[in-house]
Amino acid sequence: MTTSELSINPLDYKSSPPASGEKCAWVVFLLTSPSYLPGILVLAASLRRYKSKYPLVVAINPALPPETRSALQEAGLEVRVVQPLLPTGKVTIIAERFVDTWTKLALFDFVEYDRLVLIDGDMMLKQNMDELFNIPLEPDQIACNFACVCNLDKSSWAPEDWTRENCGYTPSHHPDALTHPQPAQSTTPRTHSLLNSGLVVLTPTHENAQVIRNLLTSTSIADQEKVASWMFPDQDLLADVFRGKWISLPWSYNAIKTMRYWHGNFYRDEEVRNLHYICDKPWQRRPRRNSQEEKERTGKVYSVSPGDFEGIKDETLGIPSEDADAVTHGWWWEEYDEMVEGMKRDGYAWTDYLERLVAQ
């Protein structure tokens, strides 16, 4: 890949491991609330299931309850305390859950690492994807995925140009989308420069960290107005700082769950490498359980057959989320249930604490 190319197929580098001695890690953030603890533990379980050779580092805010920190550490996860990172001026946030996400940018300060992959706590692997640590990047580049701007549910907060026609994923089709993602664009349309920060491959450097801190602490009216205009804190900042320098990855590395019924042009269940549970979190509500007969026939507790809700495709609106997301949420619950069973066998001390954070 040359530095002028703005898309990459990580599978081209699957057999090219990082140089000997390089230090690499997955990094997930858990800030002021323990609510994402179930998601992070399932993420860690899925990394183990698919035999990732890299550790998961959990970056936490000092205000996180000590019980949550203990639950992470007893699960065998490395915990790192980071100080909150916030802009000095006015901000615009479309949802409360984004208030703390500026702090995710602190991982550019983790300069003892040669390569990091930022991964959200509402993600779950379906395949190994260690090849992300192998892809060539310049120090001032990142690799990630487009922000899906289809807005088929007509969210009132979305800008006018958030339409299916303007989505960076719309030109993609199966199977080419798995190996030849659409390149990011630094100019037009504007939406093709927007990224989703749920998964970001990066090289932590003092230079990148300083650029980000300078922007957040700037007293310039122009800079403060720009920061105030961003609705998705960390990802809008990354799209701005790395405009023309971020490399698009195939959809399968950050498969937001709505792709299953918004992007039938390329989405396939069996091709998902990493599922992203945006919006409603699976641990907030259990999906439909199979009847005893179906459980005996399929061996599945939840109704998660890929054929379920087959009719939910592009532009099908008005479908209750518990139906539309039942399949993907069922995958999460199966992983969770198996994980908890193992924890109980192993004498994990925080099972009751964990269970209080999920729907019963």
- State pLDDT tens for residues 36-46: 999 999 999 99
Residue range 287-308: mean pLDDT, rounded: 77
pLDDT band at residue 1 using 50, 70 and 90 as cut-offs: very low
214: helix, strand or coil:
helix
Instruction: Round the average pLDDT of the chain to a whole number and report it.
Output: 89
| Start-to-end C-alpha separation, the chain | 48
Q: Is the pLDDT of residue 294 over 90?
A: no
Helix (H, G, I), strand (E, B) or coil at 197: strand
CA distance 236 to 193: 10
Residue 210 makes CB contacts below 8 A (sequence gap 6+) with none
Most confident of 98-102, 119-123, 187-191: 119-123
Torsions phi, psi for 150 (to 5 deg): -60, -40
Rounded-to-integer distance, Cα 329 and Cα 174, Å: 23
Question: pLDDT tens, 141-158?
Answer: 999 999 999 988 788 888
Q: How far apart are CA 129 and CA 134, in angstroms?
A: 10
User: What are the contacts of 187-192 at 24+ separation with CB within 8 A?
Assistant: 189/161, 190/161, 190/166, 191/147, 191/149, 191/161, 191/162, 191/166, 191/167, 192/146, 192/166, 192/168
Q: Which of 25-29, 252-256, 310-314 has the lowest mean pLDDT?
A: 310-314
Q: Tell me the pLDDT band of 96, cut-offs 50, 70 and 90.
A: low
**Whole-number Å distance between alpha carbons of 234 and 143:** 15
Number of structural domains in the chain: 1
- The pLDDT assigned to 12 comes to 94
More reliable by pLDDT, 44 or 19:
44
- 210-235 average pLDDT score: 88
Q: Which domain holds residue 288?
A: 1-360
Length of the chain: 360
Calculate mean pLDDT across residues 128-153: 94
Query: Residues of the chain with pLDDT > 70: what percent?
Result: 90
User: Which residues lie across from 116 on neighbouring strands?
Assistant: 25, 202
* 271: CATH: 3.90.550.10
Q: Name the region of 295 (left: φ>0; alpha: ψ -120 to 50; beta: rest).
A: alpha
The rounded radius of gyration (Å) of the Cα atoms in the chain is 20
Contacts of 318 (CB under 8 A, 6+ apart): none
Indicate the pairing of strand 274-276 with strand 123-125: antiparallel
How far is the C-alpha of 225 from the C-alpha of 79, rounded, in Å? 35
d(CA 54, CA 52) in angstroms, rounded, equals 6
Q: Measured at the alpha carbon of residue 315, what is the angle toward residues 309 and 320, in degrees to the nearest 5?
A: 50
Residue 35: helix, strand or coil by DSSP?
helix
* pLDDT band, residue 320 (cuts 50/70/90): low
The confidence score (pLDDT) of residue 316 equals 52
pTM of the model: 0.92
User: DSSP code of 46?
Assistant: H
Supply the pLDDT for residue 86. 83
How far is Cα 216 from Cα 95, in angstroms, rounded to an integer? 20
Choose the weakest-confidence range: 72-86, 296-310, 331-345: 296-310
114 within 8 A of 134, measured Cβ to Cβ: no
Range 135-144 average pLDDT: 95
Percent of the chain at pLDDT above 90? 65
Most confident by average pLDDT, 147-156, 168-177, 218-227: 168-177
8 A C-beta contact, residue 48 and residue 137: no
The pLDDT assigned to 325 comes to 84
Residues 267 and 273: beta-carbon distance below 8 Å: no
Q: What are phi and psi of 268, to 5 degrees?
A: -140, 130
Q: Three-state DSSP class for 59? A: strand
